[in-house]
């Protein structure tokens, strides 16, 4: 489904990252991978993962740094001659903002969560446009969560950042549709990852979903990989500006 395509995936931390599950699904479908990680702390892990998929490129990139994003795009363009798929799988809020009351969110905590988790989609998209243009269009996918649309205890400012991210998906879809670029979100059910561990009471969210979701189970990271593959491929060629729930149906329940 992605033969001869290039996919740039922002946000691999380790083998539990949704970004890695997505990268694996893409590579199994024939895509060439470009992965990014944040800082030296993640480098060893991510380089070891990248080595398991021959030809994979790997770059350090903090999404709050426009120069680093520009370097990722320049390197991808030089090595791959364009881009077909971009995945945004990046989020961060300070631990103290992911517990207690939303009303206690600090000005700085709000700014950081929104800059890293929402604005960054715009920041990584704009310099990638000339690369997409070389391939006549493409697909952009961002990872979001139900907390954007409903109140999830302790998700707090991250829910507000995800709401901004989902609105960004729609505005970008409208801007970029004429260029043949589709922009969609995947709203994943809870999966135990490094980022998820930062949310206070995450274990009880998993238990609640298993009990209440129509399918009576939690999702796995490979479910997100398969959904991303669909959104990346031509099978979804007339879907843009959408948020696709991959959550065993949990979001439909009252």
Ligand X SMILES: NC(=O)c1ccc[n+]([C@@H]2O[C@H](COP(=O)([O-])OP(=O)(O)OC[C@H]3O[C@@H](n4cnc5c(N)ncnc54)[C@H](O)[C@@H]3O)[C@@H](O)[C@H]2O)c1
Choosing from 10, 37, 155, 171, which is the catalytic residue?
155
* Contacting residues toward ligand X, per CB under 6 A: 11-13, 17-19, 38, 42, 61-64, 89-92, 116, 143-145, 188, 190-191, 193-196
Query: Does residue 205 contact residue 151 with C-beta atoms inside 8 Å?
Result: no
Report the residue number, 14 or 133, with the smaller CB distance to ligand X: 14
Does the active-site annotation cover 145? yes
Cβ neighbours of 110 (radius 10 Å): 17
Paired residues of 211 in beta bridges:
none
DSSP state, residue 190: P
Indicate the SS3 state at residue 253.
Answer: coil
Q: Which of 10, 37, 59, 145 is catalytic?
A: 145
Q: Closest CB to ligand X among 45 and 134?
A: 45
- Phi then psi for 24, rounded to 5 degrees? -65, -45
CB of 130 to ligand X, least distance (A): 22
Closest approach of ligand X to the CB of residue 210, in Å:
13
Rounded to an integer, what distance in angstroms lies between the CA atom of residue 157 and that of residue 168?
16
Distance from CA of residue 36 to its chain's centroid? 12
12 or 85, CB closer to ligand X?
A: 12
Q: 22 or 135: whose CB is closer to ligand X?
A: 22
Q: Token pair for residue 25?
A: 């699904």
Nearest distance, CB of residue 142 and ligand X, angstroms: 7
**Catalytic annotation, residues:** 145, 155
């Amino acid at each position: 489904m992605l033969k001869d395509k290039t996919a740039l995936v922002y946000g691999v931390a380790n083998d539990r990252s949704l970004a890695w599950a997505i990268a694996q699904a893409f590579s199994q479908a024939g895509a060439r991978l470009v992965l990014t990680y944040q800082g030296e702390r993640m480098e060893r892990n991510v380089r070891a993962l990248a080595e398991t998929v021959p030809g994979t490129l790997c770059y350090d990139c903090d999404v709050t740094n426009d120069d680093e994003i520009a370097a990722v795009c320049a390197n991808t363009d030089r090595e791959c001659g364009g881009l077909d798929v971009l995945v945004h799988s990046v989020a961060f809020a300070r631990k103290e903002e992911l517990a207690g009351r939303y009303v206690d969110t600090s000005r700085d905590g709000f700014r950081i969560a929104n800059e890293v988790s929402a604005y960054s989609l715009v920041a990584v998209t704009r310099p990638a446009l000339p690369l997409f243009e070389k391939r006549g269009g493409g697909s952009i996918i961002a990872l979001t969560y139900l907390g954007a649309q409903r109140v999830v205890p302790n998700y707090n400012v991250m829910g507000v950042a995800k709401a901004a991210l989902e609105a960004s998906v729609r505005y970008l879809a409208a801007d970029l549709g004429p260029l043949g670029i589709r922009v969609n979100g995947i709203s994943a059910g809870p999966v135990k990852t490094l980022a998820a561990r930062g949310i206070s009471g995450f274990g009880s969210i998993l238990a609640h979903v298993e009990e209440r979701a129509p399918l009576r189970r939690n999702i796995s990271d490979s479910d997100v990989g398969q959904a991303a593959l669909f959104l990346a491929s031509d099978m979804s060629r007339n879907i843009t500006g959408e948020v696709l729930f991959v959550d065993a149906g949990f979001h439909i329940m009252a």
